[in-house]
Amino acid sequence: MKSIRVQAMVLSSLYMVVIVTLGMGALAWLLQRSLTDEFDQTLRARAEGLASLVQWDGASVEFDFSQERTPWVPPSGNAGGFAIWCDDGTGWKLLEHLGLTDVVLDNAVRESESPPRNLRDASSPLRGLLVKSQVAPESKDGDAHDKNLPVEIAVTSRALQLKVFVALPRKALDHQISNMQILVSVFGVVIVAAAAIASGLAVWRGLRPLAQLSTSVASLGPNSPGARLHTAHLSVELSPVANQVNHLLARAEDVLLRERGFASAASHELRTPIAEARMLLEVALRKERTSSEWKATAASSLSVLARMQNLALALLQTARTTNTDGTEQELDSVELLSAITAKIQHLGASGHCNPLLVRLQCPAHLVIACQPTRMNLIMGNLIRNAFAHGCVDEKNPLHIEASLHEEDHDVCITLSNQAPELLQQDVERLFDPLWRKNQSRNDQEHFGLGLAITRQLVESAGGSIVARLNSDGQLSMQMRFARADAV
Amino acid sequence: MRILLVEDSDILRESLARGLREAGHAVDTAGDGKVGLNLAAKTEYQAIILDWMLPQRDGLSVLEELRKLGSRAGVIMLTARDTVADRVRGLATGADDYLVKPFAFEELLARVQAVARRGVGARTSTIKVGPLCIDMRARTACVMRGGTTIDLALTAREFSVLEALALHAGKPVPRLRLEEHVYDQRSQVFSNAIDSTIASIRAKLQAVGAPPLIHTRRKIGYALLEPRT
């Protein structure tokens, strides 16, 4: 497994080595060029001095630093100086030389061919330049300029060409360049290494928060749902990531705790019927029984099993409404007035409520966004709950009121009934799974799951439900759903 | 022994009471905390089996109130709550034992006898008074005579009376306490019921050659005493 931190460190160090090496190379080249230019300036100054001394009237003087073929200078010729050649039409002739004792002007030179040697070549012991001079032809009055020539040159009718070769030994220059190269190499290696290390360390340090975040995330386990990532010293780039992870962890913990609570409550609820069944059978088996006693035991066991079956079905329904997992079914629409009226009549027919004790106020043609079956279950649970656990009679009927909120396009449905036994602290637990005001477990149908299921159904339909207890003991269940045309 | 069973589940309450009665105990039952507290306040029980979650008044508050009233009855909390915190809370409130549902009836029976024994300071389930040996767990009695063991064929009521006397061996036990120990609310108690039971036990002891162990304390009750040497 590759580490981003190590990879980034190695890559940045490599980049830094390449960049600094190129930089040092460029610096070395620039320094060498600078030293050579300085040397050439000296040569040029000498050549210019020479040109001014000889005073060639009318002559054009051209300094040539180009890589033109120059006279051959043997390796030992390191004294420096100058040499002058003249081309009078018959070929180049050495007129004068000073210092360049070993300058050989032989046939080869006169032929301007062999052996050609470029004095700007680093292998040459001398570095020089050529001064090409074009001496003016003889004037009409016969005034010749040859008197100004440093050497005797035959005057001809044609223009006289001179070549002056100025050279200096390049030993000092080479020494300077060599020193510079050593200096640049040594410092270059040090600087390259330092830059690579510094760059690597900077990247290593810069990515430390990422490594810390990675370690923190890795330390999160299934046994630490309450653990959170530290965001105090994180960078602005990583902080949102850590915050988002923390947010997800908080949600996961919330779900986990809820699931644990639900599993615990369900297990708790199942213990009593299991204990009942076990005790029935254990006590019955302790001694010989008559057939009527066995019959009674079997009947009691059957009632316990029926209760367990009801509980299992209720738990299953709760689990099904809980596990939507993003596979939310598409919302349908319900015409509220007809749906509630039908439900009241249905419950009245099955004896779960008295329709005469229900006061319904609902505008016609009010359609909300909710599946009809879901709304059927929600209203059924709430109305049954009001009649089973509230105090609903002629003086205190069950009020069901539906109204439209124009501002937010929500439909508000409120069920109000008297609940004299209910306390304010009970209201907070009304929607908790398996919570019952009356703790008796003899009830075959009510396990304290109805309102928990109702809330999940409402929320899965995108709505909300809250319970409020007024000071006069009236319990209100207020639900909000989106209007169908507002979705 | 006299046991109070407070449990809201009808089926569990009835089957437990039935099993305990068949084991020879006198059992009173209550379906909610309020009734249970009233019964416990009026009668001296050797053991109280108390459910935690009860209508009207929960088991924990009943237990608190009982201890405030000075009840020394051994209390076993029955509950579906099985966390350590719940157990600690129950025991800290004054429960002598704690049993998590579902449980085995035999275990409950053993625990009931254990808390009842602790209530009178007995360490084992066997009590010896002279040659008489009473096994409260097996609910049997025998007499040791000349290296042989002779079992006493006692009825459940006779054993209960003998058990009550043995639990307070050396001390006189009032007739009323014996009645409370033997009979529950459902029993029809006649005025001479205890006297006739004592007479029957004495006859059975005499039949196996045991010395006189049960002594009458006039206007008080009866006492089980070591034989005089």
Lookup result for tokens 């039971």 = B197
Q: Which helix (H) or strand (E) holds B6?
A: strand B2-6
Are A283 and B22 inside 8 Å of each other by CB? yes
Nearest CA in chain A to B102: A275
Q: Which carries the bigger pLDDT value, residue A318 or residue B80?
A: B80
Residues B20 and B107 in one domain: yes
d(CA B5, CA A46): 129
Residues B53 and B140 in one domain: no
Is B159 contained in some domain?
yes
**Which of A365-369, B118-122, B191-195, B212-216 has the weakest average pLDDT?**
B118-122
Lookup result for tokens 């050659």 = B209
Residues B139 and B205 in one domain: yes
Interface ipTM > 0.90: no
Residue A56 near residue A148, CB atoms below 8 Å: yes
Using CA of residue A58, residue A63, residue A68, residue A70, what is the dihedral sign?
positive
Residues of chain A with C-beta less than 8 angstroms from the C-beta of B54: 439
Residue A367: strand pairing partners:
A335
Residues B10 and B87 in one domain: yes
Is B229 contained in some domain?
no
Averaged pLDDT, A315-327: 60
* CATH assignment of the domain containing B9: 3.40.50.2300
Residues B220 and B157 in one domain: yes
Residues B54 and B147 in one domain: no
Q: What is the pLDDT of residue A145?
A: 44
Residues B112 and B138 in one domain: no
Residues B42 and B92 in one domain: yes
Residues B219 and B164 in one domain: yes
Task: Tell whether B19 is within 8 A of chain A (Cβ).
Answer: yes
d(CA B194, CA A333): 77
d(CA A400, CA A396): 12
Q: What is the pLDDT of residue A151?
A: 41
DSSP alpha helix (H) spans, chain B: 10-22, 33-42, 59-68, 84-93, 105-120, 156-167, 175-182, 193-207
A89: helix, coil or strand? coil
Query: Could you tell me the end-to-end alpha-carbon distance of chain A, in angstroms, rounded to an integer?
Result: 49
Predicted structure pTM score: 0.55
Q: Which of B120, B146, B177 is the last residue of a domain?
A: B120
Averaged pLDDT, A127-139: 61
Is B55 contained in some domain?
yes
Is B21 contained in some domain?
yes
- Count of domains forming chain B: 2
Q: Looking at the partner chain, which of B10, B55, B101 has a beta carbon nearest the beta carbon of A439?
A: B55
Are B55 and A279 inside 8 Å of each other by CB? no
Residues B116 and B197 in one domain: no
* CATH assignment of the domain containing B187: 1.10.10.10
A264: closest CA of chain B, how far (Å) = 9
Averaged pLDDT, B181-185: 80
Residues of chain B with C-beta less than 8 angstroms from the C-beta of A283: 15-16, 18-19, 22, 105
CA–centroid distance for A295 within its chain: 72
Express each pLDDT in A402-424 by its tens digit.
988 777 678 899 999 988 777 88
Residues B110 and B134 in one domain: no
Residues of chain B with C-beta less than 8 angstroms from the C-beta of A303: 11
Q: Which of B69, B92, B120 is the last residue of a domain?
A: B120
Residues of chain A with C-beta less than 8 angstroms from the C-beta of B32: 440
Domains and CATH numbers, chain A: 238-322 (1.10.287), 333-486 (3.30.565.10)
**Which of A33-37, A105-109, B153-157, B190-194 has the weakest average pLDDT?**
A105-109
Q: Which of B74, B103, B120 is the last residue of a domain?
A: B120
Domain hosting B178: range is 126-224
Residues B146 and B78 in one domain: no
Query: Could you tell me the end-to-end alpha-carbon distance of chain B, in angstroms, rounded to an integer?
Result: 31
What average pLDDT does the structure give for chain B? 87
C-alpha angle A459-A371-A350 in degrees, rounded to nearest 5: 100
* φ, ψ for residue B198, nearest 5 deg: -60, -40
* φ, ψ for residue A329, nearest 5 deg: -75, 155
- Tell me the HSE value of A217 on the side-chain side, using a 13 A CA sphere: 14
What are the Cα distances from residue A322, in Å, to A170, A313, A316? 92, 14, 10
Nearest CA in chain A to B83: A264
